[in-house]
Structure 1
């Protein structure tokens, strides 16, 4: 197992982490078996957004003997009402639900207190300008939580969080399919049968901007929904018409800039071991580019996916980054100031391209990279 630092914190976590969402209505013995398997294989990071009381109690009990070895993400705003999960900003519900979390996990300090599931701009603004954030700040000042985090599926919220120095960790849904979507304020949009029927043939640059911002600002970035709810793992449900392996999905997530760790949701130890194959996988097993290149649906031919296979550049250009910034700017009435600044702060940019074409020979998606560099020169100037 390899470990990565979480943003500007001094905390190191396993690249593969445990997402406990499938422990609902399961006996304690199942939780204990999975936690022991995690510990035996070097996993030291767990996320619990579930409010179901037994899940919290079982996890707390299983982790307690080795608590000092674990880093825990716990969610504020996830509540249990009338025997079901409810996301809420009602402080009369939020506070006792979080106190319940701490009690059931048998901890005095939570490593990351996550502002739970923020997918609407209005919700984000209300949180950041009201009693919810006041409560979170108090938890941190009291030492009840060590760091503040936020979870979202919406790239617009992700950008706001990555730009907010108060948010130390962003939990975001990352996989090859979701990365083609624009901003959505409802995760259910991803699950609709016709969700991928349009021309989703390149990575949404807005999502790519999140990864760059997190790396630049030192905002820790952790990954959820790496398998798209399991849809990417079967030909029948993959939006590409062809399955990816857990290893390929994990590699895709961990390749994105700023990413520290990916939470894998598993039901059994056998499923966990399928994900852990990543630790010893070779480059061929990890490579998702060839799968996407030959996918029968939604071809990526001619579209940059920022995979980095084009590197190294003989002129030292970060080709994927230039492509991202160009994609962010090309459809705007004028180049956004932040994108323009980022481009001109690159050590080497499109103006340094010598048109050798070596990158094009390596690109699995047959992108005419030299043409992109020429277009970027025209767009951004000198």
Structure 2
């Protein structure tokens, strides 16, 4: 497996890592098999999160069988305050059955307000600094769908890694990664397969891997078949041919009219709908086959697609000219009969 250094962490990580979100629908024996095959294929980086229900727990059980020493473990907290972050770190340690976590990240810092809360005196960042001093974690990172939040984080030189969506459609992050590279900050790529939207997954992963400024890709995988298919990219990496690039570009063009990049420019919605989140949970339902989890998330929203009054204020703000109202109607038609 090709390896790259994860910025200033110094960790030499496999080009293809493991994204832990979709295993929520797996049985433990399936996760055990996945982890066994990750080891065999040379994957040494696992990313999960407190928000992924039982993902940490099942990974911890699998590592008890196959060995913690084979992997660098990364997980995340959505919390912002000192006490809540500290509590999440301790829970993660227990669920993963480990004495230390290699990389602990803030999970999807959505807005500058969230970021400033994290970084305020006595905020979540201070908690991770204290955890690092205590040896509970080794490195500190941040993830976001907001370019602006991560750009600010890079300016302040507080984080050792950033995590951001990147694929042939969601390609806005390239300058961000170049900046991170110049500061020796590791770059973790989420959504390299656009939530499973691409027909040619191999081409999509190779397109991302061609960028020399990124460190590791973490496609979500919930089967041994996916592990074997995706790790082939890291075990025998070659750049795309012209024909392969044209095929992938055709795939991207087909998705481009209805694919939400989660940039957040459509906000704020007068009805309080978090529009990108509507499409994220729809994608988890349709493409990740996480029906129950996605439905529970949809129910938990203060406002959802069924609250859309078709005012259209969001659409002029979308830099990709997406038909947001029609897309929300599609989301509503999917979930509302199930409520």
TM over 0.5: yes
Aligned residue runs from structure 1 range 105-124, under 5 A = 105-124=96-115
RMSD across aligned C-alpha pairs, in angstroms?
A: 2.4
The structure having more radius of gyration, on CA atoms, is: 1
Task: Tell whether the 8 Å contact from 1:112 to 1:148 is kept in structure 2 after alignment.
Answer: yes
* Distance in structure 1 (CA, Å) of the matches to 2:39 and 2:71: 9
Whether 2:88 is the aligned partner of 1:97: answer yes
CA-to-aligned-CA distance 1:322-380 (integer Å, 9 cap, x gap): xxxxxxxxxxxxxxxxxxxxxxxxxxxxxxxxxxxxxxxxxxxxxxxxxxxxxxxxxxx
Name the counterpart of 2:304.
none
Q: Which runs of 5+ in 1 are unaligned?
A: 78-87, 180-203, 234-244, 301-382
Q: Give matches, 1:206-225, under 5 Å.
A: 207-225=173-191
Q: Secondary structure at the match of 1:273?
A: helix
| Pair 1:287–1:149, CA change in 2 (3 A) | farther
Between 57-66 and 165-174, the greater mean CA deviation after superposition: 57-66
Bigger relative CO (Cα 8 Å, ≥ 6 apart): 2
Matches of 1:26 and 1:67, distance apart in 2: 20
**CA-to-partner distance for each residue in 1:76-135, whole Å, 9 max, x for gaps?**
23xxxxxxxxxx435554433321110111111111110111121111111111421111
Tell me the secondary structure at the aligned position of residue 189 of structure 2.
strand
2:198 is matched with which residue: 208, 232, 235? Answer: 232
Q: Secondary structure at the match of 1:211?
A: helix
In the superposition, the TM-score normalised over structure 2's length comes to: 0.69
Q: 1:297 to 1:10 in 2, by over 3 A?
A: closer
Taking structure 1 as reference, are residues 38 and 220 closer, same or farther at Cα in structure 2, changes over 3 Å only? same
Unaligned segments of structure 2, at least 5 residues: 257-339
Cα 1:118–1:174 change in 2 (3 A) is same
Partner of 1:229, secondary structure, is helix
Residue correspondence of structure 1 range 66-145 to structure 2 within 5 A: 66-77=67-78, 88-130=79-121, 131-145=123-137
Rounded to whole Å, the distance in 1 between the matches of 2:38 and 2:244 is 25
The whole-number CA distance in structure 2 between the counterparts of 1:134 and 1:31 is 34
Partner of 1:369: none
Q: Does 1:157 align with 2:158?
A: no
* Structure 1 residues 44-76: Cα deviation after superposition (integer angstroms, max 9, x where no partner): 100011445532222112113421221011112
- The 1:11–1:298 alpha-carbon spacing in structure 2 relative to 1, beyond 3 Å, is same
For residues 151-202 of structure 1, the C-alpha deviation after alignment (integer angstroms, 9 at most, x for no partner) is 11111112122233220011111111111xxxxxxxxxxxxxxxxxxxxxxx
Q: How far apart, in 2, do the equivalents of 1:43 and 1:136 lie?
A: 26
Secondary structure of the residue aligned to 1:159 is helix
Bigger mean CA offset, 57-66 vs 4-13: 57-66
Instruction: Give 1:281 shift.
Output: 5.5
Give the aligned partner of residue 290 of structure 1: 246
Q: What is the aligned length?
A: 253
